[in-house]
Amino acid sequence: MLSPHRENFCTIDPTEQAKLIVEIDTEEEFNWSLGFSPQNTSVNSIRSLGRIQAVFDEYRIRAVYVVDYPVVFNSDGYRPLEEIYNSGRCVIGAHLHPWVNPPLEEEVSRLNSFPGNLPHSLEAAKLRILGDLIGERFGSRPVIYKAGRYGIGANTAHILEDQGYEVDLSVCPYMDYSHEGGPNFTAYSALPYWFGKKHRLLEIPLSVGFVGWLKPWGRLCSDLISQYPFNQLRLGGLLARTGLLNRIWLSPEGYTLTENLALLRSLYRAGVRTFSFAFHSPSLEPGNTPYVTSQKDLEGFLGHCRHFFDSFMGEFDGVPTTPLELKMHLSIGSDNHFQEGE
């Protein structure tokens, strides 16, 4: 899972329609700049999901809400999702934040905030408890997973396979969290691939990539400027401002609509046809994240989403899909024969 081989990548026909998955990390509110605490379990911002769900309904998007333990434990968290889910307008997946998910046996630390760093038995126990509770609330156990803090580890693939998961959304291309003890994704691309003992689980990475004059050397440059002493000089910001190299996520959090569309066009020209647009649920209320601090920010956030969906479905004639629909599409006729993507 952390080292896909050449033959694991899905065969993608560049003439086919572009497909968009929208995923929301549906979680408690907490100050991202502070430490992790088991007491941070407020889910008040879930009441505001209707703001973005109205946008999804407008574009017939069945988003995947990956929910963590505080959301499914507290009625203020899961009840706003019940009507959306029961009416078939969304998909529910699992999102593991270890520091608020029982059993709480480990030391709460930055290292252990990546679930893949936990002992096999503890990572498995936490995910099983989360999956069981999701099944109790929504009528079926989840088969889609996204690790909190993108923290997959050496045991995650086996655990997912053992617990009946079908799709993982955790890989974050070109990002390196190893300085915090997390995974290093700098060698990954945005292309989906198969994993697991029988290569029947699908990884759908986040859509992250490079634009700018130095794009052909984006991976090398990104890796270089993240190393000491270059990381002290903030070269990444300088390269982005000068148009030489900009690493962009398909997200309304921290990126402009112009940047998102530039990345979309770049990936599309490179032959990518599967895209993930992602953000965090606390951003739907001002003051919870650095990305939405005012009502004006929130209006801009929602407008960003609308304009992006307009462009995706207009300029690119793209269509929304779900992780399981994409898995079925990629499986049909392929018999899991693989080729490496660009």
Does the pLDDT at position 342 exceed 60? Answer: no
Mean pLDDT within 218-240: 66
**Helix/strand/coil (H/E/C) assignment for every residue in 209-222:** EEECCCHHHHHHHH
Conformational region of residue 335, where left means phi above 0, alpha means psi within -120 to 50, and beta covers everything else: left
Does the pLDDT at position 11 exceed 90? Answer: no
Does the pLDDT at position 167 exceed 50? Answer: yes
The pLDDT of residue 105 is 98
Q: By three-state DSSP, how is residue 24 classified?
A: strand
Does the pLDDT at position 243 exceed 90? Answer: no
Interacting residues of 223 by C-beta distance below 8 A, sequence separation 6+:
176, 186
The pLDDT of residue 338 is 38
Does the pLDDT at position 152 exceed 50? Answer: yes
Does the pLDDT at position 237 exceed 80? Answer: no
Does the pLDDT at position 241 exceed 80? Answer: no
Q: By three-state DSSP, how is residue 175 classified?
A: coil
| Domains of the chain and any CATH numbers | 18-207+273-331 (3.20.20.370)
Query: Are the beta carbons of 290 and 252 closer than 8 angstroms?
Result: no
Length of the chain: 342
Does the pLDDT at position 248 exceed 70? Answer: yes
Does the pLDDT at position 232 exceed 60? Answer: no
The pLDDT of residue 33 is 83
Interacting residues of 297 by C-beta distance below 8 A, sequence separation 6+:
286, 291
Does the pLDDT at position 19 exceed 70? Answer: yes
The pLDDT of residue 231 is 60
State the pLDDT confidence band at 2, using cuts at 50, 70 and 90.
low
User: In this predicted structure, which of 23-37, 122-136, 230-244, 293-307 has the lowest mean pLDDT?
Assistant: 230-244
The pLDDT of residue 214 is 75
The pLDDT of residue 340 is 35
Mean pLDDT within 228-255: 78
What average pLDDT does the structure give for the chain?
Answer: 92
Q: What is the pTM of this model?
A: 0.93
The vertex-266 CA angle with 278 and 323, nearest 5°, equals 35
DSSP letter string, 239-290: HHHTTS-EEEESSSSSS-HHHHHHHHHHHHHTT--EEEEEEEGGGGSTTSBT
Does the pLDDT at position 339 exceed 50? Answer: no
Mean pLDDT within 331-340: 52
Mean pLDDT within 268-292: 97
The pLDDT of residue 75 is 97
Does the pLDDT at position 161 exceed 60? Answer: yes
Residue with more model confidence, 64 or 245: 64
